[in-house]
Amino acid sequence: MIESRLLCSLVPEAMEYNGGIFAALDEDDEALAPDFIEACLDSGIPAKALPVSKALDLEPGLNPAIRAAVWVPDGSFDAFRVPLAFFAAARALGARIHAWNEVVGFERSGNRVIAARVLDRSVQPAAERRIAADYFVSATGAWAGIVGRLAGVAVDVTPAPGTMVALRGRMTDRVLSHLHPAGDGDIVVPQRGLIIVGTTERVTEDPESLLPPAEDIAFLRSRAAALVPAAASAEIHAAWCAARPLAGRAGNLDSGRSLSRDFVVVDHAERDGLGGLCTLVGGKATVLRAMAEKAADLVCRELGVEASCRSADFALPSWRDYYRELPSWAQ
Amino acid sequence: VRLRIAKGTGGEFVEHEIEVGPTATVLDALEEIRGSRDKDLLYRHSCHHGSCGTCGALVNGAPRLMCIVRLAELGDGPILLEPLRRMARIGDLAVSPAPLFSAMPDAGYLCASEVAHRAPAEHPLLRLENCIECAICVSACPVERPFSGPAALAAADRDREERPDREEAALAFAARPEGVAACERRFECSRVCPQSVYPGRHIENLRKSLAARGASMGATKS
Contacts of residue B195 in chain A, CB cutoff 8 Å? 192-193
| pLDDT of the residue at B117 | 32
Least confident of A141-145, A231-235, B65-69, B122-126: B122-126
Using CB atoms, which residue from B94, B102, B126 is nearest to A324?
B102
Instruction: Round to whole Å and give the CA distance between B114 and B127.
Output: 8
User: Which residues touch B174 (CB under 8 Å, ≥6 apart)?
Assistant: B153, B156, B157, B180, B206, B207, B209, B210
State what percent of residues in chain A have pLDDT above 70: 94
Q: Which residues of B touch A80 (CB under 8 A)?
A: 46-47, 51-52, 54
pLDDT value, residue B118: 35
Task: Check CB contact under 8 Å for A242 and B48.
Answer: yes
Residue A252: per-residue pLDDT: 46
ipTM reported for the complex, 2 dp: 0.90
From the list A125, A166, A170, the residue facing B49 with the nearest CB is A166
For residue A295, give how far its alpha carbon lies from the nearest alpha carbon of chain B (Å): 24
Beta carbons within 10 angstroms of residue B145's beta carbon:
9
Most confident of A87-96, B19-28, B190-199: B190-199
Highest-scoring range by mean pLDDT, A199-208, B106-115, B116-125: A199-208
Q: Which residue in A117, A77, A200 sits closest to B51, CA to CA?
A: A77
Residue B24 scores a pLDDT above 50: yes
Q: State the Cα–Cα distance between residues B51 and B131, nearest whole angstrom.
A: 9
Question: What are the chain A neighbours of B126 within 8 Å (beta carbons)?
Answer: 15-18, 75
Q: Across residues B184-200, what is the average pLDDT?
A: 97
Do residue B115 and residue A191 have CB atoms under 8 angstroms apart? Answer: no
Measured in angstroms, the CA of B183 and the nearest CA of chain A are apart by: 22
Half-sphere exposure of B41 (CA within 13 A, CB side): 27
**Residue ranges of A 198-227 with Cβ closer than 8 A to chain B:** 208-211, 214, 217
**Mean pLDDT of the A227-239 span:** 97
Does the pLDDT of residue B111 top 70, yes or no? no
> What does the pLDDT read at residue B62?
97
Residue B220 has pLDDT above 80, yes or no: no
CB neighbourhood size of B108 (10 A): 16
For residues A170 and A126, the answer to whether their CB atoms sit within 8 Å is no
Where is average pLDDT lowest: A107-116, A255-264, B44-53, B144-153? A255-264
**CB distance from A126 to chain B under 8 Å?**
yes
More confident residue, A325 or A18: A18
Out of A27-31, A224-228, A291-295, A312-316, least confident range = A312-316
How many residues make up chain B in this entry?
222
Q: Give the separation between CA B212 and CA A4, rounded to whole angstroms.
A: 45
Mean pLDDT on A88-115: 94
* Cis before B194 (ω within 30): no
> In sequence order, what DSSP letters do the residues of A117-138 get, joined into one string?
EEEETTSSS-EEEEEE-S-EEE
Name the percent of chain B lying above pLDDT 70. Answer: 89
- For residue A312, how many C-alpha atoms fall within 13 Å in the half-sphere facing its CB? 15
**Confidence class for position A259, pLDDT limits 50, 70, 90:** low
pTM for the whole thing? Answer: 0.90
Reply yes or no on whether the pLDDT at A190 is more than 90: yes
- Nearest to A63, CA basis, from A216, A172, A167: A172
pLDDT, one tens digit per residue, over A2-25 is 888 888 888 888 888 899 999 999
Query: Given A80, A190, A330, which is nearest B52 (Cβ)?
Result: A80
Q: How many residues are given for chain A?
A: 331
Tell me how crowded residue A299 is: count the other CB atoms within 10 A of its CB: 15
Question: For position A311, what pLDDT does the model report?
Answer: 87
Query: For A31-76, how does the pLDDT look when each residue is reduced to its tens digit (9 = 90+)?
Result: 999 999 999 999 999 999 999 999 999 999 999 999 999 999 999 9
pLDDT tens readout for residues B82-96? 999 999 999 999 999
Hey, are the CB atoms on B110 and A15 less than 8 Å from each other? yes
Interface of A with B in 141-200 (CB under 8 A): 164, 166, 170, 173, 190-194, 196
Enclosing H/E stretch for B100: helix B98-102
Q: Which one of A80, A164, A209 has the shortest CB-CB distance to B31? A: A209
Residues within 8 A of A (CB atoms), B 35-94 only: 35-36, 40, 42, 46-52, 54, 67-68, 88, 90-91, 94
Chain B contact present for A237, CB below 8 A: yes
pLDDT of residue B219: 54
Beta strand residue intervals within chain B, DSSP E: 2-7, 12-17, 56-59, 62-65, 79-82, 88-91, 94-96, 111-112, 126-127
Check CB contact under 8 Å for A324 and B88.
Answer: no
User: Comparing C-alpha atoms, which of B26, B134, B34 is closest to residue B73?
Assistant: B26
- Which residues are CB-contacts of A189 (< 8 A; sequence separation ≥ 6)? A76, A175, A195, A196, A197, A198
Please name which of B70, B84, B50 lies closest in space to residue B196, comparing C-alpha atoms: B50
The strand pairing partners of A112, in sequence order, are A109, A275
